Amino acid sequence: MKFFADTADTKDIRDLADAGLLDGVTTNPSLIHKAGRNFLEVVKEISDIVPGMPVSAEVVALDYETMMKEAEVVRKIADNIAVKVPLTIDGLKTCKALTDDGTMVNVTLCFSANQALLAAKAGATFVSPFVGRHDDVGFDGMDLIEDIRLIYDNYDFDTQILVASVRHPVHILQAAKIGADVMTAPPAVIRQLVKHPLTDKGIEGFLSDWAKTGQTIG
Ligand code: E4P
């Protein structure tokens, strides 16, 4: 499963990329607001940090014509931009036009398997089902991922399932078990994956015994 960082914080992106943990980045208008940066500038900087890896940048218009105009600006930033469009009829129309033109598209705000089916039919590179927001309203977001996986496999769709709105390590574990193609998570959640009390205890024990040897390395 590919790991994308769900952030517009370039320091975090650099840090995770240096550890070899990143395969791409996703942003959205709320994350751009949180970063307090100019949208086009920060997306360019992110694209340079992870060259060749998909970087999702979202258009904000709701009608096809304006979405296409915004997509023109966004996709010129770098070759690795995936234009992010909402799961609406105009968004799907934009998806089809951009895909036909060789641009990666991430269809976002997916909350049902039928919506994911539409995204695949429109040729999306990625579909983003939001598991955390689904959980928030009393549904199991992972049931949605299972349904989409089944449907995409039934028909050999190429669209990649990008599990979004990830809130904790268990979401990542479940996404990997189901066979999602990609997950995107806040950097803090990706860092949580490394934590295990037995790892910490093991390090403590080894260092304590090493100190008793009186030796140094090098
Ligand atoms: C990513 O593409 C989504 O925009 C993001 O994961 C949404 O996460 P949230 O529900 O925590 O805002």
Q: Is 0.80 surpassed by the pTM of this model?
A: yes
Give the domain range for residue 52: 2-213
Q: Is 128 in the pocket of ligand 1 (CB under 6 A)?
A: yes
Q: Supply the pLDDT for residue 146.
A: 98
Cα four-point dihedral sign 164, 167, 172, 174: negative
Q: Supply the pLDDT for residue 106.
A: 98
**152 lies in some domain:** yes
Which strand (E) or helix (H) includes residue 100?
helix 89-100
Q: Supply the pLDDT for residue 93.
A: 98
Write down how long the chain is: 218
Residue type, 196: H
Confirm whether 84 is a catalytic residue.
yes
**218 lies in some domain:** no
Q: Is 186 in the pocket of ligand 1 (CB under 6 A)?
A: no
Tell me, what CATH number does 20's domain have?
3.20.20.70
Percent of the chain with pLDDT over 90: 100
Q: Supply the pLDDT for residue 182.
A: 98
Q: Supply the pLDDT for residue 150.
A: 98
User: What CA–CA distances, in Å, run from 154 to 122, 149, 170?
Assistant: 17, 8, 26
Q: Measured in angstroms, how far is the CA atom of residue 66 from the centroid of ligand 1?
A: 23
> Nearest Cα to 8, choosing from 29, 36, 38, 32?
32
| Cβ–Cβ < 8 Å for 68, 103 | no
User: What CA–CA distances, in Å, run from 16 to 108, 112, 195?
Assistant: 24, 31, 15
Ligand 1: which residue has its CA nearest to atom 8?
165
Q: Report the C-alpha gap between 28 and 56 in whole angstroms.
A: 8
Q: What is the position in ligand 1's atom list of the atom closest to the CA of 167?
A: 11
Q: Is 58 in the pocket of ligand 1 (CB under 6 A)?
A: no
> Could you tell me which residues come within 8 angstroms of residue 181 by beta carbon, excluding any fewer than 6 positions away?
1, 2, 126, 160, 161, 162
Q: Supply the pLDDT for residue 202.
A: 98
Q: Supply the pLDDT for residue 29.
A: 97
What is the tens place of the pLDDT at every residue in 84-124?
A: 999 999 999 999 999 999 999 999 999 999 999 999 999 99
Q: Report the C-alpha gap between 175 and 186 in whole angstroms.
A: 15
Structural domains of the chain, count: 1
Q: Give mean pLDDT in consecutive 10-residue pieces for the chain, a chain of 218 residues.
A: 98 97 98 96 97 98 98 97 98 98 98 98 98 97 98 98 98 98 98 97 98 97
Q: Measured in angstroms, how far is the CA atom of residue 174 from the centroid of ligand 1?
A: 17
- Indicate which residue of 2, 84, 93, 177 is catalytic: 84
Q: What is the dihedral of CA 42, 44, 48, 51, to 10 degrees?
A: 120
**93 lies in some domain:** yes
**197 lies in some domain:** yes
**135 lies in some domain:** yes
Q: Measured in angstroms, how far is the CA atom of residue 156 from the centroid of ligand 1?
A: 26
